[in-house]
Amino acid sequence: MTATPGTLVLAGTPIGDLADAPPRLATELASADVVAAEDTRRLHRLTQALGVRPAGRVVSYFEGNETARTPELVEALAGGARVLLVTDAGMPSVSDPGYRLVAAAVERDIKVTAVPGPSAVLTALALSGLPVDRFCFEGFPPRKAGERLSRLKEVAGERRTLVYFEAPHRLDDTLAAMAEVFGPDRRAAVCRELTKTYEEIKRGPLGDLAVWAADGVRGEITVVVEGAPDPTPGDLDAGELVRRVRVREEAGERRKEAIAAVAAQAGLPKREVFDAVVAAKNAAHGAPSEGKGLT
């Protein structure tokens, strides 16, 4: 007889103040068959604060063992277990372990649900004072300077508000890179130690924030950056138009859709962007630069 599959529960945990734990978290901790925790020591502190003792087996599930442990947890789920996944702070899978397990559970048609909880992304966004109607989460910027600049250049024209995580010892370099790529006058907010005793929200132009961070900043950091302003037709040269099309193509878009999107962002006719792309392609191959149409 085949066992009825269990349920994977993703649980949000406090990002600072333990009193922010969702009420259902204690219930899930007390009843789960398996609790997979990013850091079992931090889990112990959390359960003590909540006055609850996990009834099931507690296992570690972090970046170093995520790949190896996922099959084990999926088999437990397939056998009918209720598996609770908690990370150190915030929601699992959001720059934390979880994605691989969710994807594997979905592949096996195992139910996945969540206990919603605190989120540093949404908390910082709401406190930033920047537009919140449209935003995108970019996670941690690359550590290497060259890769970081390249990644920032990819979103330089993004008009949605951008949200990043960053380590305190890299914050000054990241803000300086943002000021270089996005412009020193682009508005931003550095949100430090959210919901904790020394919570601080520092708002201002990127150039000013880079100077402020040069003296060193401590704590857990979330950076919110204003999106690019609406472009004025003619603001972007042909080289930049071609670069933006190429970035979209490398991300998986068809050339026709990439050209249309770049044209819309730049406030230009599609034909002008198409001609720039064709000219760049022909120049690279030493051919004439006449286009034949948007195909």
The answer on 170 and 139 residing in a single domain is yes
Of 61, 91, 118, which residue sits at a domain end?
A: 118
Does residue 69 sit in helix, strand or coil?
A: helix
CB-count exposure of residue 136 (10 Å: 0-12, 13-18, 19+): exposed
Asked whether residue 147 is domain-assigned, the answer is yes
Confidence (pLDDT) at 295: 42
Instruction: Record the pTM.
Output: 0.78
The answer on 136 and 111 residing in a single domain is no
Comparing 85-99, 228-242, 254-268, which segment has the lowest mean pLDDT?
228-242
Here the tokens at position 262 are 């770049």
Strand order in the sheet with 200-205: 135-139, 161-166, 221-225, 187-192, 200-205
The answer on 73 and 34 residing in a single domain is yes
For 158-192, b/e burial (b = at least 16 CB within 10 A) is beebbbbbbeeebbbbbbbbbbebbeeebbbbbbb
Asked whether residue 114 is domain-assigned, the answer is yes
User: 129 — phi, psi (to 5°)?
Assistant: 85, 5
Of 53, 84, 118, which residue sits at a domain end?
A: 118
Given a cut of 60, whether residue 63 has pLDDT beyond it is yes
Given a cut of 90, whether residue 166 has pLDDT beyond it is yes
DSSP secondary structure of 209-220? HHHHHTT---S-
The whole-number average pLDDT for the span 185-210 is 97
What's the gap between Cα 48 and its chain centre? 30
Asked whether residue 291 is domain-assigned, the answer is no
Residue 287: which pLDDT band, with cuts at 50, 70 and 90?
low
What's the CATH code of the domain at 32? 3.40.1010.10
Given a cut of 50, whether residue 292 has pLDDT beyond it is no
Asked whether residue 295 is domain-assigned, the answer is no
Asked whether residue 231 is domain-assigned, the answer is no
CA torsion angle 147 151 152 154 (round to 10): 140
Of 198, 225, 252, which residue sits at a domain end?
A: 225
Q: What is the pLDDT of residues 260-283, one digit of tens each?
A: 888 877 778 899 999 999 998 888
The answer on 65 and 30 residing in a single domain is yes
The whole-number average pLDDT for the span 174-191 is 96
What's the CATH code of the domain at 164? 3.30.950.10
Residue 289: which pLDDT band, with cuts at 50, 70 and 90?
very low
Residue 239: which pLDDT band, with cuts at 50, 70 and 90?
confident
CB-count exposure of residue 273 (10 Å: 0-12, 13-18, 19+): buried
Given a cut of 70, whether residue 139 has pLDDT beyond it is yes
The answer on 190 and 274 residing in a single domain is no
The answer on 252 and 206 residing in a single domain is no
Confidence (pLDDT) at 253: 80
Asked whether residue 2 is domain-assigned, the answer is no
Mean pLDDT for all residues in the chain = 91
Confidence (pLDDT) at 248: 83
- State which residues form the domain around 173: 121-225
* Angle at 125 (CA atoms; ends 119, 131), nearest 5 degrees: 150
**Quick one: what percent of the chain has pLDDT higher than 70?**
94
Does residue 229 sit in helix, strand or coil?
A: coil
The answer on 90 and 178 residing in a single domain is no
Instruction: Please give the Cα distance from 230 to 190 (Å, whole number).
Output: 23
Select from 46, 3, 5, 45 the least CA-distant residue to 28.
46
The answer on 22 and 96 residing in a single domain is yes
Question: Domain tally for the chain?
Answer: 3
Asked whether residue 214 is domain-assigned, the answer is yes
